[in-house]
Amino acid sequence: MAGAELGPPSPVPCVPDVYAVVYEHFSKKVEKSVQTGSEWKLGAWQDSWTRAEHAHAVEQVRAAIARGDVYQVNVVGHAAAPYTGDPSAALRRVAALAGARYGGVLRDEAWALATASPETLVEVRDGRVITRPIKGTRPATAQGRRELLASAKERAEHIMIVDLERNDLARLPGTGPVRVDELFAVREWSGLWQAESVVSAPLDGDVGLADLLRAVCPGGSVTGAPKLAALAQIAALEPVGRGVSMGALGWIGHDHVDLGLSIRTVVADGTRVHAWAGGGITADSDAIAEVDEAAAKAGPLRSALSS
């Protein structure tokens, strides 16, 4: 995003900023060979900051909100674990997690990644541009659902990001009236309830991919509001860069675009596997609860990798 402050470098510099796989359709069936690699063994996870350091970052955001610098900031933590063997099966388990709207594996010679993202960064189909921000999390139990629906804090945090996404879509050239098609709908992702809204607008003009990405990246649900001020807080507070996490991964076709926000993503770089998780901080946030929420989001990823 133009004018945004840069944070720490990515812990996985081997993954390029942009990577594309081009598919060509053939009438002839192509047989795929199945390769079996060496046995997968995952070591102990090492967080890039302690629980106390994470909680301190949450308190620093709350102080920035009290000063009027920002309204909300998404704070993200990183962890890595050493591994040996072929990560392919473990990455496929991540991609297959329940609730993954954008589940898949992408790999090159030096790296491989898997995503189980439930969140749409941007979709263009049938003349409309759509984004589906997710904000608000509870355990996927009956009590958790009631708590999420009743939480004034979670709803206020969510609506703040919905307003941000409405503004992002309105910045697109040739965009018609922006509307909220669905607000604070509760959906399940791998043992967690999450609140999702649907924001869309008609595209009256010819909008290019660069214009589209410039308007919505980085996603509001993983930055905060106002977006530039939130990015400055993120750059100052987070000890490790976000790398491929919190970016975009999906499909670009001749008649549609469908890109998921690459939350719930892990990367294997040949020696270590990396994962990120966080949450939105508001004035009413409890530091320990926010640390626990990030751990809950990372839990299914770690479990899938270690199975």
Q: Where are the beta strands (DSSP E) in 89-228?
A: 102-107, 112-117, 120-125, 128-132, 134-139, 179-189, 192-202, 224-225
CA nearest neighbour of 300 among 86, 32, 115: 115
Q: Which amino acid is at 289?
A: A
Active-site hit among 32, 53, 109, 135: 135
CA nearest neighbour of 121 among 102, 105, 140: 102
How far apart are the C-alpha atoms of 7 and 244, rounded to whole Å? 14
DSSP code for 27 = S
How far apart are the C-alpha atoms of 57 and 36, rounded to whole Å? 43
How far apart are the C-alpha atoms of 71 and 230, rounded to whole Å? 8
How far apart are the C-alpha atoms of 196 and 187, rounded to whole Å? 7
135 part of the active site: yes
DSSP code for 111 = -
How far apart are the C-alpha atoms of 7 and 240, rounded to whole Å? 8
How far apart are the C-alpha atoms of 97 and 89, rounded to whole Å? 13
Active-site hit among 119, 123, 238, 290: 119
- Quickly count helices (H) and strands (E) in the chain: 7, 15
Which tokens is 270 given? Answer: 């040949």
Asked if 276 contacts 297 with a C-beta cutoff of 8 angstroms, the reply is: no
DSSP string, 62-83: HHHHHHTS-SEEEEEEEEEEEE
- 281 three-class SS: strand
119 part of the active site: yes
Q: Which residues does the annotation mark as catalytic?
A: 119, 135
